């Protein structure tokens, strides 16, 4: 499940630099190409972020991690995905107001390090 931070349930969106730059310019995003194709924005819980990085962003540089409060996102649905795990899917644009914080994701010799997810 999503990580709790003072009664806030966090989930995370990973953007490539160009996607994040567009998000900043426009103040909103319909997501990455996979999000547009599926009709919703893919988010991950703290436990799911490493798997999402490994599966969809392996060896990519210039990634940005955005934290969102799931309790404030509507319509958000928890739906089965990889291995039957429930993933948060947002059925509307992600807006600047949805973001609690963001930071770069380091890529080292061992792969991506998203840092502490709180």
Cβ contacts of residue 103 below 8 Å, gap of 6+?
Answer: 64, 65, 115
Of 16, 44, 19, nearest in space to 30 by CA: 19
76 vs 112, higher pLDDT: 76
pLDDT value of position 118: 63
Is pLDDT at 14 greater than 70 in this prediction? yes
pLDDT value of position 87: 95
pLDDT value of position 12: 97
Model confidence, pTM: 0.87
CATH (residue range 3-108)? 3.20.170.20
Q: Where are the domains of the chain?
A: 3-108
Tell me what percent of the residues of the chain surpass a pLDDT of 70: 92
pLDDT in tens, 28-55: 999 999 999 999 999 999 999 999 999 9
């Amino acid at each position: 499940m999503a990580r709790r931070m003072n009664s806030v349930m966090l989930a995370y969106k990973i953007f490539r630099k160009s996607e994040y730059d567009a998000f900043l310019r426009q103040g909103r995003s319909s997501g990455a190409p996979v999000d547009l194709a599926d009709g919703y924005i893919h988010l991950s819980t703290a436990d799911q972020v490493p798997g999402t990085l490994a599966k969809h962003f392996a060896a990519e540089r210039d990634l940005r991690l955005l934290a969102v409060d799931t309790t404030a996102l509507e319509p958000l649905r928890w739906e089965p995905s990889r291995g039957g795990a429930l993933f948060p899917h947002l059925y509307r644009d992600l807006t600047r107001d949805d973001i609690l914080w963001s930071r770069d994701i380091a890529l080292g010799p061992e792969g991506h390090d998203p840092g502490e997810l709180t």
